Amino acid sequence: MKGDILFKDATLVDARGKHGIADVLIGEGRILSLFGGEAKRTIEAKGLYLSPGFLDLHTHLREPGQEVKEDLQSGLEAAVRGGYTDVVSMPNTSPVVDRAEAVRALKEKSARIGFARLHPAAALTQGQEGQLLCEARALREAGAVLLSDDGRTNEDAGVLALGLRYAASWGLPVAVHAEDAGLRRGGVMHEGEVSWRLGLPGNPAYAETARIARDLEVVRYVWEGLGVRPQGETLLHIQHLSTKRGLELVRQAKREGLPVSTEVTPHHLTLTEAHLEGLDPLYKVAPPLRTKADVEALLEGLLEGSIDCVATDHAPHTEDEKALDLLRAPFGIPSLEVAWPLLYTKLVEERGFPLPTLVARFSSDPRRILGLPPIHLEEGAEASLVLWNPSQKRSVDPRGFASKAKYSPWAGWTLLGWPVLTLVEGRVVWEADF
């Protein structure tokens, strides 16, 4: 048996566990063997880990219309450098991605670029204005994988209910930015002791939890009252969960069997409101960084599975924008290139978080939300994989990012676990010197 690439002495780890050392033969876009074979290229992988490629459910690539912040070329390269083989792009661009032709254009251009595979999200409502629903069937047929008015909250519960019914009929989950705009008002950080001391307008935890509670009741109405059944496991996906109370609401809904899922970001797992003491807008994000108690609760939820997956909410802006004061700077943190080493270091190495569970939250679990089959390290499996170094220490240097957002709240942090090679369907799309 002859393949294209042989990973010699790679340590295998996927959602099902650590599987020891193997010689992994890749060819025809899949894993041909775990027992070696002849290949055109042999990669010495002793001491390196091989895992399924990561999928990010929540990425802002800014194209079309905001390419000064990010574009498909830079964003998809950033993704593969971070070990991501698949990314879901958000539709809050200029113009909004709310038509089938816009979805097709993104799919076609990303395929020509050839880094990570792009799965566009399309808007739930036309122009993301929260009033008229988009054509879910046409969007699905064009390649959209979910619907979302991300960046804006769905204020009209009736429109959300209709959207859930319509989207479910075409196999599309709906992702929501769960935040009550009236309670949030002009908040630029978490409302609490730090915001009061700094004299800054706060965004209370209740803005998130009030909207989650309402949205879960809308799901209950559609699920129990109307008998709507999604084609997959998820009817409603709650984005960037940030509060302990929000987690409690989601956990209870899951216990009751509601078809909901949720995600957590790297920044909500590793940063708190205290990082805003210096008034640095690098830490300004929506929803805001919360308390230490919220972070601990989110870590517990990620471990037990109440939180389904890690999603970056990669949100690049220009350096000039982020250099504005805390009141005027835009919300957002870029993290595609650091998400895996950050959480591997802070969760697995420093806190003993099970490595296979973290791999699952980056790979098989987000795939499940989209109705995609998991990738396991076994013969015949799709060879969309990441090779990473668990022992390589490197400081975060934003100036070397592929992303146009060359800044980071983690700049200077020393991390382990950096990806060194990414494969998409057996094709090397990026590799570092190693």
Task: Name the residues annotated as catalytic.
Answer: 313
Written as one letter, the residue type at 432 is A
Written as one letter, the residue type at 282 is L
Cα angle for residues 159, 164, 166 (degrees, 5° grid)? 95
Phi/psi region, residue 367 (left: phi>0; alpha: psi -120 to 50; beta: rest), is alpha
Separation of alpha carbons 126 and 98, rounded Å: 6
DSSP 134: P
**ω into 341 cis (within 30 of 0):** no
Q: Collect all residues with Cβ–Cβ distance below 8 Å to 431 and sequence separation of at least 6.
A: 420, 421, 422
DSSP 349: I
b/e 189-198 (16+ beta carbons within 10 angstroms → b): bbbbebbeeb
> Can you give the C-alpha Rg of the chain in angstroms?
21
Written as one letter, the residue type at 292 is K
Specify whether the CB–CB gap between 334 and 409 falls below 8 A: no
Please give the helix or strand (H or E) that residue 21 lies within, else none. Answer: strand 17-27
Closest alpha carbon to 242 in 153, 179, 175: 179
Separation of alpha carbons 13 and 391, rounded Å: 15
Specify whether the CB–CB gap between 31 and 25 falls below 8 A: yes
